[in-house]
């Protein structure tokens, strides 16, 4: 397993950027970029609904934030360059739908149904019934790559939202599948630790037909959440979003109880962004140099 040494971007806490308290829309989920701006989805742990933050990519300067959106958890988010929109995965009642968000207004366009081609259905059945976990956009082919919930297989979704190809993953992990990214060669799955079988944050790399390539360990102290990359002059730079929730203790005086000190517990939430650099040199089949 190759270990990456991410570099945290100083002064960037997405909760503070979006102007939310720890009890509000303060837990980072999906992210993506159009090259100029970066988009981050932050949800409320109590309602599971979210808000989208747009910042300048190069310095994370605040640009805008959305109203509260009818998005359920939103593990995955991709930028669709052909239509200037964000495409978001959900849980719950929307788990088999994709939510389309206008990238300029940050308002929901619609929750769209996804169908399955007869060819895929005849071989694999109703593959979308368990829903989607994460999503990436392929600008060269104008299609989406989705990670399926439960099976963690890969679906290729056309621009008119039909599953036109399906690839079974040949390796599975015990960690928590969070989000994904993709380029012309590889699919990158973002996982956080779950138990002793996977005690680390990792990025699992697959080729575009669902064949396992290698695992990259992201050496960060907080939970992996999502990933995006930008390419320039043939070099790709990847950015990782992490989440931290810490239980804090504070002493207060209790009214009506003789002003005796009372211990109060609360969570503080932080969402940091790390620069992973160009990870292409680390992406090679295991066992090969």
Give 260-286 as a DSSP string: -EEEEEEEEEEEEEEEEE--GGG-S-T
| pLDDT tens profile 53-70 | 999 999 999 999 999 999
Q: How many domains does the chain have?
A: 1
pLDDT at 289: 39
Distance CA 173, CA 152 (A): 9
Residue 252 lies in a domain: no
pTM higher than 0.85, yes or no?
A: yes
Domain limits at 191?
2-243+272-282
pLDDT band at 15 (very low <50, low <70, confident <90, very high): very high
Query: Is residue 78 one of the residues assigned to a domain?
Result: yes
In a domain, 36, yes or no: yes
What is the tens place of the pLDDT at every residue in 235-263?
999 999 999 988 777 767 666 655 566 77
Phi, psi for 164 (deg, rounded to 5)? -110, -10
Query: Per the domain annotation, does 128 fall within a domain?
Result: yes
Q: Is 67 left (phi over 0), alpha (psi -120 to 50) or beta?
A: beta
265 within some domain: no
Task: Output the domain CATH number for residue 143.
Answer: 2.120.10.30
- % the chain with pLDDT above 70: 94
> Mean pLDDT of all residues in the chain?
93
Q: What is the pLDDT of residues 183-225, one digit of tens each?
A: 999 999 999 998 888 999 999 999 999 999 999 999 999 999 9
* Res. 274: pLDDT tops 80: yes
Rounded CA separation 73/88 (Å): 9
Looking at the domain assignment, is residue 143 inside a domain? yes
Residue 264 lies in a domain: no
Answer whether residue 287 is part of any domain.
no
């Amino acid at each position: 397993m190759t270990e990456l040494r991410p570099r945290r971007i100083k002064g960037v806490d997405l909760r503070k950027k979006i102007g939310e308290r720890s009890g509000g829309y303060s837990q980072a989920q999906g992210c993506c970029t159009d090259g100029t701006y970066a988009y981050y989805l932050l949800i409320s742990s109590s309602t599971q609904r979210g808000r989208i933050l747009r910042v300048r990519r190069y310095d994370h300067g605040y640009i805008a934030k959305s109203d509260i959106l009818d998005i359920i958890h939103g593990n995955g988010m991709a930028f669709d360059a052909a239509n200037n929109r964000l495409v978001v995965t959900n849980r719950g009642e929307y788990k088999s739908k994709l939510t389309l968000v206008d990238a300029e207004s940050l308002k929901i366009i619609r929750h769209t149904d996804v169908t399955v081609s007869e060819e895929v259905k005849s071989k694999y059945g109703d593959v979308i019934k368990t829903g989607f976990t994460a999503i990436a956009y392929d600008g060269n082919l104008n299609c989406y790559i989705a990670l399926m919930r439960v099976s963690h297989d890969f679906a290729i979704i056309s621009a008119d939202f039909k599953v036109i190809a399906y690839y079974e993953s040949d390796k599975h992990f015990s960690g928590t599948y969070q989000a994904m990214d993709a380029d012309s060669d590889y699919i990158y799955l973002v996982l956080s630790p779950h138990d002793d079988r996977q005690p680390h944050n990792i990025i699992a790399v697959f080729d575009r037909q669902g064949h396992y390539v290698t695992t990259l360990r992201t050496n960060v102290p907080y939970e992996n959440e999502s990933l995006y990359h930008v390419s320039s002059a043939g070099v790709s730079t990847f950015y990782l979003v992490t989440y931290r929730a810490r239980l804090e203790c504070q002493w207060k005086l209790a009214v009506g109880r003789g002003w005796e000190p009372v211990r109060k517990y609360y969570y503080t939430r932080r969402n940091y962004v790390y620069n992973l650099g160009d990870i292409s040199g680390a992406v090679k089949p295991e066992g090969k140099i």
